[in-house]
Amino acid sequence: MEVRPGRKPFRILSLDGGGTFALIQAKVLDDLFPGEDGHQVLSHFDLVSACSGGAIVAAALIEGYAPREIFELFDSPANRHALFGRLPWYRSLLQLVTGVFSPSSPVGRRFSTGGKLEFLRRILPSMGSTSLHSLHGILNDSIASLRAQRDEPDRPMSFLFVTYDFDRDRARMMRSNVTSPAASFPHRQQRATLAEAAHASSTAPINWFDKPAEFDGCRFWDGAMTGYNNPVLAGVVEAIAMGVPRHDIGVLSLGTSTVFLPEYGSDGIPEELCQPRARTGFLPELVKVGKTIIADPPDAHTFIAHLMLDGGLPLDVSCCPHTETAIVRMNPVIQPVIDRATGEWSVPAGWRVEDFRRIAEMDISARRQDDVDLIKRLCDGWLRDEWHNQPIRGCGIWTSPLADSPLATTDRLCEIGHRWYSDAKTAWTELSA
């Protein structure tokens, strides 16, 4: 069954985690909703599902920040150093010691959990101390007024932050709508404040923050630990549980970049553009385990959600990309592209191989300005269609270009979804207009 074309009356904004890379989401929202403040942006949606860095973006929208102002929050060195506040050397000895024996895979906590909460409370002066339950009414009053100005019918808007309950080893959704049919019984008022909820959702363990977020007698890890770093599936399940017809649901899913490199030794692809074979051993494997929370498994949720909303499948490669979907995924993919002049795999135009490798290997807690400038450069190039957009389902096999292939190899990597940002933007306009 194909997705019914046209406008989707129930719209979900899904915001991935990704640390400093979340500035990409702010840039996209500014491009889609130029000149609008946070509440104006939210008034275009009925549900927001957010995780980790995306939860900070969502909280800033609820506070009223315009997307451009959210971008400036992440672009500020002082803010980044407050968000990722370094621990004193004597509290990060494990990081220092393991770095001696394994320079490429140091292990250990680096940042202050308490310092992050102070930062969030500082940037959320109006709404940060308000409980999610109370925010539900406050936010809906503001959004109802904005919709009335556009002669749109009033309808409730809600949001949820994904967290990991440290003591119960369970996913925990912090909802503004405590009576959501998706919530377990008994329905209780959500006592977490906006700042606390964003804090709980963004406290990444192992190689990042020094202890779980703690408030109201509970402790929390980053929501990405639940597998919902890409929270699109959480949002779709929430909407279906609320009784929204599947054919009425449209999703704008914003990522923070993903790395998809060819396997080392792939035919016809330069080695420097390939994914090196991962090292084995306790330290490198521990680091790898920590990073799986932002790797492909959460992104598979986009494909699952596509099928849940009755999205179709391509019959064969000649039908790719299949673009009839209720989910618009916008996320830059760090991968080689085909040089249009030579027909060979290369880095995107204007990029050096060393910068390409650097952005591919960059930690989500980027604090240095030259690193952040590289993230901004990636984002700007993606918005100009110089980097590929992440598909809902992609081809996992890299090969050298073949003259008799039904599609150019670079296009075949997108099987379902939109291969370029401009295509995704057009698709979202059609779903939301």
Interhelix angle 67-75/23-32, nearest 10 degrees = 160
- Gap between the terminal Cα atoms of the chain: 23
Place of tokens 């995704």: 424
CA distance 202 to 222: 5
CA distance 36 to 41: 6
Question: How many helices and strands (H and E) does the chain possess?
Answer: 16, 14
Peptide bond before 186: cis, by omega within 30 degrees of 0?
A: yes
How far, CA to CA in Å, does 9 sit from each of 39, 251, 323? 18, 11, 19
Place of tokens 């401009």: 422
Phi then psi dihedrals of residue 171, to 5 deg: -70, 140
The CB-side HSE value for 163 (13 A sphere, CA atoms) comes to 28
Is residue 129 part of the annotated active site? The answer reads no
As given in the structure block, the two tokens for residue 422 are 């401009």
Q: Which of 14, 43, 49, 52 is catalytic?
A: 52
Is residue 222 part of the annotated active site? The answer reads yes
CB neighbours of 380 closer than 8 A, spacing ≥ 6?
Answer: 27
For residue 345, what is the enclosing H or E element?
strand 345-346
The alpha carbon of 75 is separated from its chain's Cα centroid by a whole number of angstroms, namely: 17
DSSP string, 53-115: HHHHHHHHHHHT--HHHHHHHHH-HHHHHHHTPBPPGGG-HHHHHHHHH-TTS--S--B-HHH
For residue 348, the one-letter residue type is P
Q: Which of 16, 37, 222, 299 is catalytic?
A: 222
Q: Are 192 and 174 in contact (CB under 8 A)?
A: yes
CA dihedral 7, 12, 16, 21 (to 10 degrees): 60
Q: Are 383 and 377 in contact (CB under 8 A)?
A: no
Of 157, 185, 180, 183, the closest CA to residue 172 belongs to 183
Interhelix angle 67-75/369-383, nearest 10 degrees = 150
CA distance 133 to 152: 25
Q: Are 412 and 405 in contact (CB under 8 A)?
A: yes
CA distance 227 to 223: 8
User: Would you please indicate which residues are annotated as catalytic (active-site) residues?
Assistant: 52, 222
